[in-house]
Chains A and B, each alone.
Chain A
Amino acid sequence: MQNKSIAQMAAELRLRTYSSVELTQHYLERIARLDPRLNSFISVARESALAAAARADQAIARGVAGPLAGIPIAHKDIFCTKGLKTSCGSRMLDNFVAPYDATVVERLAAAGAIVLGKTNMDEFAMGSSNETSFYGPVKNPWDAARVPGGSSGGSAAAVAARLCAAATGTDTGGSIRQPAALCGITGLKPTYGRCSRWGMIAFASSLDQAGVLARSAADAACLLDEMAGFDPRDSTSADVEVPDYVDALDDEIAGLRIGLPKEYFGAGLDDRVAASVQDAIKEYERLGATVQEISLPNSPLSVPVYYVVAPAECSSNLARFDGVRYGHRCAEPRDLEDLYQRSRAEGFGTEVQRRIMIGTYVLSAGYYDAYYLKAQRIRQLIAGDFARAFEQVDVIMGPTTPTTAFPLGAKTDDPVAMYLNDIYTIATNLAGLPGISIPIAPVAGLPVGLQIIGNAFQEARLLNVAHRYQHVTHWHQQAPTGFE
């Protein structure tokens, strides 16, 4: 059951082959049985999920069901869910029950999707391994000794382990694509502004974007169809027409011009990962695509630029967590300063505090120009590289990550080594472009992701390109042992 596509499930629910309550119970049972091995959920919303499933069944019976009616999904715990704990993976919000739904949550609910629970994540989405979560690390379903990637690691692991049909995630520097790659699933980060950020707890506002983690591009398209679109509550949401992503899946890709940035195939890339990526690209050539080398000369600077811009924005975004209106408050504060300093030091983990401090520093008097403004200028150059590339090619392809999933604890003592994991994904966030990671031939039993980057608002093209590959390959259907 859990291996069926969303389209198939939706069809069978409509045929009453099984009910949404049955489907939901099936997933809840899998979560109860299997998630202790993974720790991919922070909270499971059993009661509300079953109630919603019953409503979905009624809606289906009455013929008024939305496109995702009865499909059980999970939300990254960064999305506010009314009446459900929304922790953002942090002790700071361990006691926070959101008083409203994020737009993405609202839209998926309106389409009939069932929320099984909230998935684990790096604290405030800051991390690439899911080890910074207050709720403990998530394990990679392919190898429990390895990380699932981050920050949407809970969503990636849960989808890979078939604990939900699909899940939402957010991507600030690779947080959907990187865990999707490491867990062997499909992860789409849409164009900045494509999905509303309302109710999505902000990490770095100019980079954050909501997206999907799913088992296939087709499944991702089903969710994106519902999530995408203008939201008057988000000033940075784009008022750009939303195409039908499912409709575009089977479009012809013969003649597709693929650009391979030479900077994405240099030192630091695992040879075996490189070989797998090259194989996937050969498959595209067989499908009629043409390949050319391109250059994104400033892309090696994307990590340094990101570690100025993202912390700067986060230092300000996380200032609201002060122990006054919600969230963790220290015991017996001596005075106001003590209330702030201890509530924040106790509520935030080490990585979050590191980034807040870096961000505070780069914005502070005397450093703003040298760090923040400089980073923004290079950001402009990085965006310019992409603009030039897309004059020559339709999509850009390369590895999503330099290596397969690394062992838990391998990089926790070295923030810089951890940051370099996102070397291929960060530039797209800086430029605001969409990117997708799809599973390709694994290396030593561990998943490998192919990243496909498109021009702004070209999600339909990305899903189409990904889907045509998945049409002729089976990598996306592989399930980790024990979770089939």
Chain B
Amino acid sequence: MQWETVIGLEIHTQLATQSKIFSGAATRFGAAPNTQACAIDLGLPGVLPVLNQEAVRLAVRFGKAIGATIAPRSVFARKNYFYPDLPKGYQISQYELPIVGEGWVEIVLDDGTLKSVGVTRAHLEEDAGKSLHDASLRGGGYTGIDLNRAGTPLLEIVSEPDLRSAQEAVAYARKIHQLVRWIGISDGNMQEGSFRVDANVSVRPLGQTTFGTRAEIKNINSFRFLERAIQFEVERQIDVLESGGTVVQETRLYDAERDETRSMRSKEEANDYRYFPDPDLLPVELDVAFIVDAVADLPELPDSLRERFHVQYGLTEYDASQLSMTRELAQYFEAVAQASGEPKLAANWVSGELSAALNRSELEITESPVSAAMLAGLIHRIQDGTISGKLAKQVFEAMWHGEGDADSIIMDRGLRQITDSSALEAIIDGIITANPEQVEQYRAGKEKVLGFFVGQTMKASQGKANPQEVNRLLLEKLAPR
């Protein structure tokens, strides 16, 4: 039987606020356990939540970025369950009336086609704390609870079940990841847990319109794991169905070491969250001014920018999407393209030499020792024939190591191309005189020998000879008399 995979993702992204969503405690990563958990985060008796305006503002930005409606009135609800990292015994989340309604994003599939993926909703909620299963605590048998993370603002972004493969799911997750960083609402740091993915996965016979029973794989924190987890889960479900079994609706965990998903029965039992509106928090009502203000400085979004790069600069779709991966990269590219007036060369250099160097040094584009203006300067010198492409790589290296801009490096190292014909002629004449045998061979019709002369000339000029000029002069001088 042919099976179709159906995937929907729930992505939790940490919002880039200074303080927590309902308290004035800091959100900084890496503090000593429980030193960033205030009375509210700890759920002490008598404490009350007060909503952080910045969290609301960032959620609104996201909503606008995916073309969603912003709810003029949204409501916080309590999701009740007992777990040691959940200090109040409930999580403050949004249930019936989320702040961000339906929207969509576009992903690029492997074959280059575009696919629109629906976003059902996005809602604000607080994060839970962390359980540390450290065997050494009190000599073993205990789990330690660190509530520093409790109350950290999250935006939970829920997709429609529109994704049809692990690859599509990854493309969508990457897209959301790109977007939240692009609009500055999250640092998207996956190692620190600022961007976590839950995948709802089911399979159904191809052509069937109703959904199969789904399993939810929780808390995946890398795109690679997301792909592997879904692939494993799809195969597992198909195996179950093909051997006559039924898929159980449950929560599963992806084990990266064993590359498998497994059931989390302990969390599964009695999943009755008893949602109800949080009586400590009144409905959030946003007026137009707040929304306008929140999105006033929203940058051009990646889809529009990608398209513009393609049209305006004549880049391939591929290059355009590579260069619009992050806002900073796109800004850098555009600065180089505009300053140099050579968008294609700029694209080659940014995604070629520069990206490779950044990767090697593990630097972000914003930390590049070669500024956009410097790179544009280099491109100018390639363009006007001052240096060859090959020498340009040397110049780039030197710029990377802080030796100055392209012009000063070319000057200091005497890298300027020799385009002056009389100087070149003298070199070439010397070489012809010194190699009569090869001259004979060439003139006898062995044209390959031309390469020998080119090489000798370049060597003698220490690479500075203009290759076109060398060719032209050699052809002229070696021509049979």
Contact check, A322 vs B82: say whether CB atoms are below 8 A apart: yes
In the complex, which residues of chain B have a beta carbon less than 8 angstroms from the beta carbon of A372?
Answer: 276
In the complex, which residues of chain B have a beta carbon less than 8 angstroms from the beta carbon of A88?
Answer: 45
In the complex, which residues of chain A have a beta carbon less than 8 angstroms from the beta carbon of B281?
Answer: 235-236
Nearest CB on B from A270, distance (A): 34
Q: Does A206 contact B (CB under 8 A)?
A: yes
The binding surface of chain B is classed by DSSP as loop
Contact check, A319 vs B88: say whether CB atoms are below 8 A apart: yes
Nearest CB on B from A106, distance (A): 12
Contact check, B274 vs A201: say whether CB atoms are below 8 A apart: no
Nearest CB on B from A357, distance (A): 12
Contact check, A326 vs B46: say whether CB atoms are below 8 A apart: no
Tally A residues with Cβ within 8 Å of B: 44
A326 to B47, CA, bound (A): 14
Q: Does A93 contact B (CB under 8 A)?
A: yes
Give the interface segment out of B36-44, B227-235, B354-362: B36-44
A4 to B49, CA, bound (A): 41
Nearest CB on B from A171, distance (A): 16
A199 to B45, CA, bound (A): 7
Task: Map CB proximity to B onto A292-329 as digits: 1 under 8 Å, 0 otherwise.
Answer: 00000000000000000000110110111110111000
A319 to B280, CA, bound (A): 15
In the complex, which residues of chain A have a beta carbon less than 8 angstroms from the beta carbon of B42?
Answer: 325
Partner of B48, one of A98, A235, A313: A235
Chain A, 333-372, CB within 8 A of any chain B CB: 336, 340, 360, 363-365, 368, 372
Contact check, B88 vs A80: say whether CB atoms are below 8 A apart: no
Chain A, 168-217, CB within 8 A of any chain B CB: 197-202, 204-206
A365 to B90, CA, bound (A): 16
In the complex, which residues of chain A have a beta carbon less than 8 angstroms from the beta carbon of B45?
Answer: 80, 86, 88, 93, 96, 98, 201-202, 320-321, 326
Nearest CB on A from B49, distance (A): 7
Chain B, 135-165, CB within 8 A of any chain A CB: 143, 145
A269 to B19, CA, bound (A): 54
Contact check, A324 vs B145: say whether CB atoms are below 8 A apart: yes
> Which chain B residue shows the least CB distance to A92?
B45
Contact check, A99 vs B46: say whether CB atoms are below 8 A apart: no
Partner of A325, one of B43, B49, B272: B43
A216 to B51, CA, bound (A): 39
Q: Does A102 contact B (CB under 8 A)?
A: yes
Contact check, B87 vs A234: say whether CB atoms are below 8 A apart: no
Contact check, A320 vs B272: say whether CB atoms are below 8 A apart: no
In the complex, which residues of chain B have a beta carbon less than 8 angstroms from the beta carbon of A232?
Answer: 50
Q: Does B80 contact A (CB under 8 A)?
A: yes
Nearest CB on B from A281, distance (A): 35
Partner of B49, one of A86, A201, A235, A326: A235
Of the four ranges (under 10, 10 to 19, 20 to 34, 35 or more), the interface on chain B belongs to 20 to 34
A99 to B37, CA, bound (A): 14
Known: A325-B43, A365-B272. A316 touches B80 (CB 8 A): yes
Q: Does A483 contact B (CB under 8 A)?
A: no
Q: Does B341 contact A (CB under 8 A)?
A: no
Chain B, 34-73, CB within 8 A of any chain A CB: 39, 42-51
A115 to B47, CA, bound (A): 21
Most chain A beta carbons < 10 A, residue from B80, B145, B274, B282: B274
Contact check, B90 vs A319: say whether CB atoms are below 8 A apart: yes
Nearest CB on B from A175, distance (A): 16
Partner of B44, one of A200, A318, A319, A326: A326
In the complex, which residues of chain A have a beta carbon less than 8 angstroms from the beta carbon of B50?
Answer: 232-235
Q: Does A100 contact B (CB under 8 A)?
A: yes
Contact check, B39 vs A99: say whether CB atoms are below 8 A apart: yes
In the complex, which residues of chain A have a beta carbon less than 8 angstroms from the beta carbon of B280?
Answer: 202, 205, 235-236
Partner of A200, one of B46, B87, B274: B46
Contact check, A236 vs B39: say whether CB atoms are below 8 A apart: no
In the complex, which residues of chain B have a beta carbon less than 8 angstroms from the beta carbon of A100?
Answer: 39, 44
> Which chain A residue shows the least CB distance to B34?
A325
Contact check, B46 vs A201: say whether CB atoms are below 8 A apart: yes
> Which chain B residue shows the least CB distance to A340?
B82
Nearest CB on A from B167, distance (A): 36
A192 to B279, CA, bound (A): 12
In the complex, which residues of chain B have a beta carbon less than 8 angstroms from the beta carbon of A313?
Answer: 279
A280 to B87, CA, bound (A): 50
Most chain B beta carbons < 10 A, residue from A313, A322, A364: A322
Q: Does B101 contact A (CB under 8 A)?
A: no
> Which chain A residue shows the least CB distance to B278?
A205
In the complex, which residues of chain B have a beta carbon less than 8 angstroms from the beta carbon of A365?
Answer: 272, 274
Q: Does B78 contact A (CB under 8 A)?
A: yes
A202 to B278, CA, bound (A): 13
> Which chain B residue shows the least CB distance to A324?
B84
> Which chain A residue shows the least CB distance to B89?
A319
In the complex, which residues of chain A have a beta carbon less than 8 angstroms from the beta carbon of B276?
Answer: 312, 316, 363, 368, 372
A336 to B145, CA, bound (A): 13
Nearest CB on A from B137, distance (A): 14
Known: A93-B45, A319-B90, A324-B145. A364 touches B274 (CB 8 A): yes
> Which chain B residue shows the least CB distance to A341?
B82
A408 to B421, CA, bound (A): 118
Nearest CB on B from A198, distance (A): 6
> Which chain A residue shows the least CB distance to B76?
A235
Contact check, B279 vs A206: say whether CB atoms are below 8 A apart: yes
A396 to B87, CA, bound (A): 42
A363 to B89, CA, bound (A): 15
Contact check, B78 vs A316: say whether CB atoms are below 8 A apart: yes
Contact check, A363 vs B274: say whether CB atoms are below 8 A apart: yes
Task: Map CB proximity to B onto A367-410 as digits: 1 under 8 Å, 0 otherwise.
Answer: 01000100000000000000000000000000000000000000
Most chain A beta carbons < 10 A, residue from B46, B47, B78: B46
Most chain A beta carbons < 10 A, residue from B48, B89, B272: B48
A199 to B44, CA, bound (A): 9
Task: Map CB proximity to B onto A236-262 as digits: 1 under 8 Å, 0 otherwise.
Answer: 100000000000000000000000000
In the complex, which residues of chain B have a beta carbon less than 8 angstroms from the beta carbon of A325?
Answer: 42-44, 87
In the complex, which residues of chain A have a beta carbon less than 8 angstroms from the beta carbon of B82?
Answer: 319, 322, 340
Known: A236-B280, A236-B282. A197 touches B48 (CB 8 A): yes
Nearest CB on A from B110, distance (A): 42
Chain A, 263-283, CB within 8 A of any chain B CB: none
Partner of B46, one of A198, A206, A336, A368: A198
Contact check, A199 vs B46: say whether CB atoms are below 8 A apart: yes
Task: Map CB proximity to A onto B382-424 as digits: 1 under 8 Å, 0 otherwise.
Answer: 0000000000000000000000000000000000000000000
Contact check, A320 vs B89: say whether CB atoms are below 8 A apart: yes
Partner of A316, one of B44, B87, B274: B274
A360 to B143, CA, bound (A): 28
Closest 5 CB pairs of A and B: A319-B89, A363-B274, A205-B279, A206-B279, A320-B43
Some 24 contacts from A to B, beta carbons below 8 A apart, are A79-B46, A86-B45, A98-B45, A99-B44, A198-B48, A201-B45, A201-B46, A202-B45, A202-B46, A204-B279, A205-B279, A235-B51, A235-B280, A236-B279, A236-B281, A313-B279, A319-B82, A320-B89, A325-B43, A325-B87, A363-B80, A363-B274, A364-B272, A372-B276
Q: In the complex, given contacts A96-B45, A235-B282, A372-B276, what are 17 additional A-B residue pairs having Cβ atoms less than 8 angstroms apart?
A: A98-B44, A99-B39, A99-B44, A102-B46, A199-B46, A202-B46, A205-B279, A235-B51, A312-B276, A316-B80, A316-B89, A319-B80, A320-B45, A321-B45, A322-B84, A326-B44, A368-B275
What is A's interface to B at a CB cutoff of 8 Å?
79-80, 86, 88, 93, 96, 98-100, 102, 197-202, 204-206, 232-236, 312-313, 315-316, 318-322, 324-326, 336, 340, 360, 363-365, 368, 372
